[in-house]
Amino acid sequence: MTQLTPITFHEIDIEAIATATGRVVVFADTDGKLDTGARRVNKLMRGALLRLIESDRFEQMKAGDAVTLAFPVGMAAEAVDIVRLPRNADQTQARAAGASLAKLRGQVDVLVMAGAVRRIAEVAYGFAMRDYAFEDHKTSAKPRAGEVRVMCGKVDEVQAAAAPLMAIAEGAFMTRDLTNAPANVLTTTTFAEQLAEMSALGLKVEVLEEADLEKLGMGSLLCVGQGSASPSKVVVMQWNGGAKDAKPLALIGKGVVFDTGGISIKPAAGMEDMTMDMGGAGVVSGVMRSLALRGAKANVVGLVGLVENMPSSTAVRPGDVVTSMKGDTIEVINTDAEGRLVLCDVMWYAQDRFAPAAMIDLATLTGAIIIGLGHDNAGVFSNNDVLCNAFLKAAQTEGEGAWRMPLGQCYDDLLKSRIADMKNVGGRAAGSITAAQFLQRFVKGDTPWIHLDIAGVASVKSETALAPVGATGWGVAALNRLVSDMYETE
């Protein structure tokens, strides 16, 4: 797994500035006031720092932006990075500042003089999240080098604030690594093996094999992978950090390690991106890692259905009828609408076994949600306003875009089948909504439920605020916050 750049916190030592190698960071706002560290840097640089702060260039910078003065006079560092950040900066601005610095870092050490910064833990989180590169398969890649030393006041308080944020970042890194990995490396088997390794963190991990799934009656899930040589699996991860009698929150992830579309095969152009069709399972895995690392006082169970959707002589065909674990029959109209066939059985199993307090499923489910919301927001579907509003608030707080979409009987009616209990698609119109309606048929009674269609946000072609091009890790921070807000016990 890609490792976070080491970030440590220390008491302020202005004598270290002159001899620090790599990069030195100071913060300033347009009021021209410099803290102790910045004043020392300005003195060493013979006033160059103050001239920059008083310039039009600095005035035009946004909060969180950074500018570099290379090879400063009087210092051993190769560069000084100056960040424009108000003393009352909010969380978003502080994280943006960290991300700006991460993009400048390269592979060298960084000394951050953060004496006057109030949200230094958030700056460190933004730095950690953006300082990511997936280079597992580049022969020219070098081992990641360099560390970040942050000098600040109240070191113990800053460390305490930063620790859970670093746990979130590590979970997001796991999600990104899984989502970025090619399908010949991340098979259903290697995926399950990586999750099993998290038992070392205190998670209880079980891997259900095909024989187990057959006994459970998961005909819907199993039909998706029956055309592949890779065995289908369900991995169950339990974190029991809350009260013994507290029902768990269940997180369900779609883990299609590669999606050709099956017999309803996709066009060749862009099919290489279907390595990310396990993004929902990647998010669930990252969240469970974060919860374990920070010792969350909550009961959460994460379940992921791992399959590969391939065309072959044994693949499920359009027109086939399969039977779900619930017992409902499904007419498979389109084998490329496979994610819902995986999720519905895992959702039913989760409710049967754990009787969860609430259930949230995540999936790169439909291209239709990208048409509707683009790459800035995930689609949110829910049967419960309280749970849905809590998630939307958590996502907004974490800067992860999410937008609620409708559900209704008129959409559900589009799933009627002539020969089975339902079809797996409802036609071209409202495709993301009918997919959610399909899943809602497998929600028991009044179980609070959210479906997150993350097809547009799991992996992107341009960088985001806290991630480079590729897998984003969207959802790890928001779901972690939801757990903290709603399900943690004292």
Encoded amino acid at 110, one letter = V
Buried/exposed 237-249: b ≥16 CB within 10 Å, e otherwise: bbbebbeeebebb
What distance in Å separates the CA atoms of residue 487 and residue 246, rounded to the nearest whole number? 9
In the residue annotation, 119 being an active-site residue is answered as no
From 95, 130, 254, 340, the catalytic residue: 340
CA distances from 430 to 370, 408, 416, 449 (A): 12, 11, 15, 20
Residue 360 structure tokens: 């949230």
What distance in Å separates the CA atoms of residue 285 and residue 125, rounded to the nearest whole number? 20
From 39, 87, 247, 266, the catalytic residue: 266
The string of DSSP letters for 269-328 reads TTGGGGGGTTHHHHHHHHHHHHHHHHT-SSEEEEEEEEEEE--STTS--TT-EEE-TTS-
Q: What is the CA radius of gyration of the chain?
A: 24
CB 250 within 8 A of CB 303: yes
What distance in Å separates the CA atoms of residue 373 and residue 455, rounded to the nearest whole number? 10
Q: Which among 233, 365, 352 is positioned nearest to 301, based on CA atoms?
A: 352
As to burial, measured by CB atoms within 10 angstroms (0-12 exposed, 13-18 middle, 19+ buried), residue 282 is buried
In the residue annotation, 297 being an active-site residue is answered as no
Q: Which among 162, 20, 2, 25 is positioned nearest to 102, based on CA atoms?
A: 25
Which residues form the catalytic set? 266, 340
